[in-house]
Amino acid sequence: MTRSFDLTERFERMRLTVFQALVLIATSFTISAEQRFPSQAHHTWGPGQGSGGAVSCRAVASESPAVVGRSFLSTLPHPGPMHPRSTHRLLLPVLALAGAGTLALAAFPTLPDAESVPVAAATATPATNSAARAVLPPIAAPRAAAPELAVGGPQPLRTALPAPAPDDGLKPVIQANRLTGVAPLYVFVDGMATPGVPRLHDARFEWDFGDPQGPLARWNKHSGFVGAYVYENPGEYTISLKVADPSGKTGTSTAKVRVNPFSGVTLYCSSSQGDDVNNGRSEGAAVRTYDRVIQLLALQLSSAGPAAVRVLFRRGDSFASDRKYSFPFATQGRPILFGAFGSGPKPVIQWNGPAEMFYAGEAKGLRFVDLDIRGTYDFQNQSGTANSFFSAVDCSDWLYLRCNYSKLWVGIGASPFVKTVEDIALFECTVTECQDHLVYTGGHRFALVGNDLQRTRNSHAARLWQIVKGVVRGNTIWDAGYGNNPNRQILKIHSLTNEPTRDFQVCENSFRGQAWSVCIAPKDRYSTDVLVNGIVERNTFLEDVASQDQTQIMLMFCARQMTVRNNVFRMGTRSPWTTAVWVWEYGNGVPTPDDISIYNNTAAHMPNASFTDTQFLLIEAQNGTNIRCWNNVLYAPNSSSSTTAFVGVTPGFRLDQLTESNNLFYGPRARSYAAEKGNGGTRTWTFAQWTALGKGAGSITSDPLLAAPPHNLRPTTQSPFLGNGVQVPGLWDDFDGLLRPRGGASARGAYLKP
């Protein structure tokens, strides 16, 4: 089925400008062997690794006589939307060399798209014994430092693993994008099909990917209804999923993963030891230049040889090119890996061309591992060519692993056109000093895990145009619109017009933004995007450092079925006007916020200004419904404006749609506990007036006695909110991953203990 997308802002400046018709006889391949890539210690690729499998191909005459090609001219200014309703199907092309360093395209039929693999319920292991209040243990492994005190996202959790509770009734269902493939293998899982769980946000899903000694072992365990991992070493692994619901039922299921080694052709490139007269088939016969090895790759892809190809660059070497290459529109059956071999620092590839280094449409199976890609944009002086590493549309099954990208227009980018983008993963990459986006991508079964994303000049740092089942975990994302545009977001998650963003988790990240830090909402005020079923938890939100006097919203969203819990908002000392959580609506027909839970977060605001304005929760959604706010802590000792309050609402919002209780608001200079501002006036409620309305049950206004605000917001042993919060069904652990008590009162705020 052809899909139509709103492409007005794709890459914001790119435009589809040329349609090329290639009328060729197409050929389809039947690949009878497994496609394999290797993995080794120190994340290098060497010769002779893995056991080869026989690969055979047979050509079959195709009934498809033609294909329509596409290209981007990314240096043109954005004059308007790209063609939104192309109905053709792009077919699987093979590269053929053309002139001027550009690769022409021949066509072959596409293979079917991969579907999620459900694991049979027979793998579940329910036990006969039951416990009245069974809880799952927290994730094991010691935690070195809290994310708010360490750059780079979360560390392993501190809590020791207690004896597991017996399973007693639940039968978790593991759904996966794949359970077999070549290394490095990206596996995305979810437990959403588990029967008997009344509300996903209230259950606990605990994953173990069975790779505690792997290169990515820090991500081996995860808590959430979605999860993602990359297996680098060939072998067999067991994924386990433990689920517990608030009623006390538990269950465990497992799934086997088989990771195959490489079998195919390896091309080597070394600027220090290679020669372009070589064939590149061994380290000793490496070619010298980047252009030559890409030419060999193109020839290999156009031949009837092995399905898998990898291109390896020697560590410590540097390469340069200004020639753009176009890759197959659909590489199903031919995974391609760009990686490194030898020892030393990552190989540097300097891109000097005016536009993108690569173009790929409908390509599948590309992997980029341990590379350092650099453009020519001068971030400090805002000069030079803002070129890009890749422009890609309708791509699937792409992995970026431990790569560096810098001084580009867009660091890592991919867009939809007529097909669904699927299985894109970025693990432990560093993307810095780009003109526009650091990351511009998204799609089905998406993962952004453990990356360091810092400093853009003109646009958002990480813009995810859609997530349908995805996880954003353990990233450091700082400084969007640095010095130029304070209204750019650190993380922007929106949606496509015809398919909502849904089923996602944003956890364990470190965010530092300007006016708007994290935005989960429609693309703009004219869009009718829908976003539903998301969890934002265990993140650290840091104050802006680029501007002294500006409003700052740390987390804003217009979505349904959202949970915000166990986050730390260090609103700091610089900005005089700050809100931790803003729930809002455009009022243009976009579905209004509904079913919102905000609990056990800690925030502090201590500006060095005579006039300050602070709210923990600001609701600017007249039609918002079912908004719940429990067990939060706001420390604002200096805030004094008439609208400083724990809760702020817009005129017209129905207070009966807000449940607010057991919070702590310390604002000794504040004039109110709640405020309504708009339409030329302000209405306020003192704490006594607020409780008279039936709000604020169990809330207190005492000094929380935090350790060292605004930088260390942990409680002390004298803190008045330890152990007297309300029990929330979905509250299983705290910011550190410590298991919270079930069945009784809980500590307020993000931390269970000092």
Closest CA to 14 of 330, 448, 359: 359
Angle at 590 between CA 589 and CA 593, to 5 degrees: 125
Q: Which amino acid type is present at position 343?
A: S
Contact present, 719 and 754 (Cβ < 8 Å): yes
Closest CA to 503 of 128, 189, 108: 189
CB count within 10 Å of CB 610 equals: 8
Q: Is the peptide bond preceding residue 729 cis, with omega within 30 degrees of 0? A: no
Q: How much is the pLDDT for 550?
A: 64
- Please name the residue that has the structure tokens 């009878």: 32
Tokens of 127: 């036990």
CB count within 10 Å of CB 57 equals: 17
Domain ranges of the chain: 8-110+264-421, 117-259, 548-700+710-738
Contact present, 456 and 435 (Cβ < 8 Å): yes
Structure letter (DSSP) for residue 346: P
Phi, psi of 599 (to 5 degrees): -150, 150
Contact present, 432 and 457 (Cβ < 8 Å): no
Q: Which amino acid type is present at position 357?
A: M
The third-level CATH classification (topology) of the domain covering 117-259 is: Immunoglobulin-like (2.60.40)
- Please name the residue that has the structure tokens 């000097």: 352
Residue 100 zone, left/alpha/beta (φ > 0; ψ -120 to 50; rest): left
Query: How far from each other are the two terminal CA atoms of the chain, in whole angstroms?
Result: 55
Rg for the chain, CA atoms, rounded: 27
Phi, psi of 193 (to 5 degrees): -90, 5
Given a cut of 50, the residues of the chain with pLDDT beneath it are 1-164, 329-330, 548
Tokens of 340: 């490194």
Q: How much is the pLDDT for 256?
A: 98
CA dist 603 to 151, 580, 666, 708, Å? 19, 7, 11, 13
Q: How much is the pLDDT for 76?
A: 27
Q: How much is the pLDDT for 692?
A: 95
Distance CA 218, CA 239 (A): 15
| Pairing, β 372-374 against β 404-406 | parallel
Contact present, 604 and 638 (Cβ < 8 Å): no
pLDDT digits (tens, 9 = 90+) for 354-391: 888 887 777 788 999 999 999 988 888 888 777 777 77
Q: How much is the pLDDT for 301?
A: 83
Contact present, 463 and 438 (Cβ < 8 Å): no
Tokens of 565: 């819990």
Q: How much is the pLDDT for 253?
A: 97
Q: Is the peptide bond preceding residue 522 cis, with omega within 30 degrees of 0? A: no
CB count within 10 Å of CB 156 equals: 17
| Pairing, β 226-231 against β 185-190 | antiparallel
Contact present, 426 and 445 (Cβ < 8 Å): no
Distance CA 206, CA 139 (A): 8
Q: How much is the pLDDT for 393?
A: 73
